[in-house]
Amino acid sequence: MSDICMCCDSGAKMSAFSNETHRIEHHGLVIEIEGLSGFRCPVCGEIEFDAESAERYAEASDALMLEARRSTGKELRRIRKKLGMNQLEASKITGGGHNAFSRYETGKVTPTAAVINLFRVLEKHPEELEELKRA
Ligand SMILES: [Zn+2]
């Protein structure tokens, strides 16, 4: 690893840090990873974890994404059922292909923010659903 920051053009030397706790936030979920070490640019703050820390950070980050997807999936399922729609009808409204909703609800695929926002709005204004079904 180069000891000069590759992220900014300052030419600054990366300085070592160890045993730090880093926090990752994703869609309102938070995870803290302890005991991380690596190097940090004193100018731009860019971090390069050492191999072991990078691996743990990536694993924790992946786990958080998965948890966020599952949680979003549960929310979409709850709202869809409340609206009295099956997955196919929900897929037609959101335009993601005939089994898109099944993949969202099981957490296999992350729905776009537009899909999540639409369902949150529909939960508050279920009467608008008829308008969408006619379109
Ligand atoms: Zn830098």
Q: How far is the CA of 1 from the centre of ligand 1 (A)?
A: 14
Provide block-wise average pLDDT over 10 residues at a time, the chain (135 residues): 85 96 90 96 95 97 92 96 94 87 92 94 94 79
Question: What phi, psi does 73 have (nearest 5°)?
Answer: -60, -45
The confidence score (pLDDT) of residue 63 equals 93
CB contact at 8 A, 42 and 81: no
Domain boundaries 15-134, CATH class: mainly alpha
Q: How far is the CA of 48 from the centre of ligand 1 (A)?
A: 11
The confidence score (pLDDT) of residue 38 equals 97
CB contact at 8 A, 23 and 39: no
The confidence score (pLDDT) of residue 2 equals 63
For residues 33 and 49, give the distance between their C-alpha atoms in angstroms, rounded to a whole number: 12
The domain ranges of the chain are: 15-134
Q: How far is the CA of 2 from the centre of ligand 1 (A)?
A: 12
Q: How far is the CA of 28 from the centre of ligand 1 (A)?
A: 28
The confidence score (pLDDT) of residue 23 equals 96
Q: How far is the CA of 18 from the centre of ligand 1 (A)?
A: 18
Q: How far is the CA of 47 from the centre of ligand 1 (A)?
A: 9
Sheet holding 47-49, edge to edge: 15-26, 29-40, 47-49
The confidence score (pLDDT) of residue 1 equals 53
